Amino acid sequence: MIEQITVMANAAYPLEGILTLPDSHTEKVPAVVLVHGSGALDKDETIGANKVFRDLADGLARLGIASIRYDKRTFAYGKEMLQELDGKLSVKEEVIEDACAAINLLKNDPRVDATRIFIIGHSLGGMLAPRIDEEGGDVAGLIILAGTPRTLEEVILNQNEDAIKQLDASQQEIALMQVKDLQNKFDAITGMTVEKAQQTVLFGSVYAWYFKEMNQHPLKDYVSTKKKPIFIAQGDKDVQVSVEKDFNRYRELLKDYPDVTFKLYPGLNHLFMKAAFGTLKDIWNEYNIPQDVDGSVLEDIAEWILSK
């Protein structure tokens, strides 16, 4: 069962959303809020020919779990936000406020069990899930799909380095100079004042403040104070995050955590779909192949939620 909803953390930015409920239920159901990865993404998290959040919402509903998904604020109001905030845009305005508003909608829905609401964060959303919980979400547990405990700068630089390895030798020198320039810009962020960071453009319309603000909230600060259940999943053919730098680093970081589940999926990519190429240079060719989120991922998430 699908209902149109509006997520509105900020009255100037009402967001179209969808509440998906199991077709038949006699008791209050557990529920999730789906939090996007990076970029201006719609409510289905449409990436190429695929719709990750639609697949998750529909699949979980069949397994007895409700969900909310909604347009990302930068998708619906990108130009307006840049005009309003200019260099002051951070993940708080882009992601966190709206995720908390969606969680509150679920908490106030009489068909939902308010004590069994979870965050499913994909990529950047997974990175931010612990912070969303801390800054107003207050959910029952966190599901981190293809997230990273690294800084966003590290991820961007590592992706660039990996991409360079796949270039012809004649192209590598120029690309390496560009990456070095980006590295220097990132290195300078730490020493910047807030004002300077909000005035410094790194690339495109992205300012240094976006990174500086995020780095003030490292993952370890959240997982050291709260002990809520966490489910961490990744595909082993994911070329946007890696087994070694991300999945295994989560394992190390959370080795003493009391309630954490790790699941690595053979053959799946960043979208939790079958990897066709498995290289960064072919990533958009891969994402333009219509697929569905792998059924085993849906089943494992549902089983984990229903056990809580």
Catalytic residue annotation? 123, 238, 270
What is d(CA 129, CA 137) in angstroms, rounded to the nearest whole number?
9
Amino acid (one-letter) located at 296 = S
Neighbour count for residue 295 (Cβ, 10 Å): 10
Beta-bridged to residue 46, according to DSSP, are: 51
Q: List alpha helices for 242-287, DSSP H.
A: 248-253, 283-287
H/E element, 171 = helix 169-189
Nearest partner of 109 among 17, 230, 11, judged by Cα: 17
DSSP character at residue 93: I
DSSP character at residue 102: H
What is d(CA 190, CA 258) in angstroms, rounded to the nearest whole number?
33
Beta strand 206-207 with 201-203 is antiparallel
DSSP character at residue 282: G
Alpha carbon of residue 19 to chain centroid? 19
What is d(CA 173, CA 191) in angstroms, rounded to the nearest whole number?
29
Nearest partner of 131 among 105, 152, 114, 159, judged by Cα: 152
Nearest partner of 130 among 116, 143, 114, judged by Cα: 143
